[in-house]
């Protein structure tokens, strides 16, 4: 299970880049801002060098710019720098150092980092297994609307993994995810409803509606 989750964590961290890399024609102005110490511009420079074509990609420069922004506390730079260290792309692989950077991003409230670190606590990958920390971080990410965290919570409650098994809570989180047209969440709902009675389903639906109402304005 730990090996499987390690692979899933690495894949997830590889594909998560919420910011778009800047266009080549914009890079001169961004570089000027970055060299003057602007952390957001430094992060964009990191994206630029990491996001170029295979022939032109320069991960070492990406690491340099991410590091500058991360040292200033830019959460997305901390998260991406951590991902690079975990994967060993452009730097010597150092999973412990990578996780340390992502912990910093999670502490700042970055949902993607909270989810990633929460999973590490859940499965004891690099970090010592801690179900309480896992539930807290993954819930925080889910409450920010992170789809993968919402499905993770659904799976945790469905399987009793790190929490007491609770089909109502599982249905609630999968229902929230399913409303975003996520097919895997919709499949889980179908499975869940075969083992739930009508009262449980209604309770779960009420909880999902309450969550949606509370987070609608966010």
In this structure, of 41-55, 59-73, 141-155, 195-209, the range with the lowest mean pLDDT score is 41-55
Angle between helix 2-15 and 111-123 (nearest 10)? 170
Q: Does the pLDDT at position 124 exceed 60?
A: yes
The CATH number, out of the four listed (1.10.357.10, 1.10.3720.10, 1.20.1250.20, 1.25.40.10), of the domain defined by the range 2-144: 1.25.40.10
What mean pLDDT do residues 157-164 have?
97
Q: Which of 167, 149, 146 is nearest to 157 (CA)?
A: 167
Task: Tell me the domain boundaries of the chain.
Answer: 2-144, 154-218
At 130-145, the pLDDT tens digits run 999 999 999 999 999 9
Cα of 44 vs its chain's centroid, Å = 19
At 90-115, the pLDDT tens digits run 899 999 999 999 999 999 999 999 99
**Integer Cα distance of 195 and 204 in angstroms:** 13
**Integer Cα distance of 124 and 131 in angstroms:** 9
Please give the model's pTM, rounded to 2 decimal places.
Answer: 0.86
**Integer Cα distance of 107 and 143 in angstroms:** 15
């Amino acid at each position: 299970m730990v090996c499987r989750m390690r692979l899933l964590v690495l894949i997830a961290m590889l594909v998560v880049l919420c910011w778009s890399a800047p266009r080549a024609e914009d890079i001169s102005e961004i570089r000027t801002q970055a060299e003057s110490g602007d952390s957001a511009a430094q992060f964009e420079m990191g994206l630029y060098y990491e996001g170029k074509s295979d022939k032109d990609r320069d991960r070492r420069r990406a690491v340099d710019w991410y590091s500058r922004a991360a040292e200033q506390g830019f959460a997305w730079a901390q998260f991406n720098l951590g991902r690079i260290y975990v994967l060993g792309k452009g730097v010597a692989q150092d999973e412990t150092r990578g996780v340390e950077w992502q912990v910093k991003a999670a502490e700042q409230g970055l949902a993607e980092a909270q989810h990633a670190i929460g999973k590490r606590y859940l499965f004891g990958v690099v970090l010592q297994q801690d179900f309480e920390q896992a539930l807290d971080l993954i819930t925080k990410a889910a409450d920010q609307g992170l789809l993968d965290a919402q499905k993770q919570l659904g799976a945790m409650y469905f399987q009793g993994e790190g929490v007491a098994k609770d089909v109502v809570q599982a249905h609630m989180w999968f229902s929230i995810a399913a409303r975003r047209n996520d097919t895997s969440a919709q499949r889980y709902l179908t499975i869940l409803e075969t083992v739930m009675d009508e009262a449980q389903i209604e309770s779960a639906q009420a909880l999902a509606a309450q969550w949606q109402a509370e987070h609608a304005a966010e």
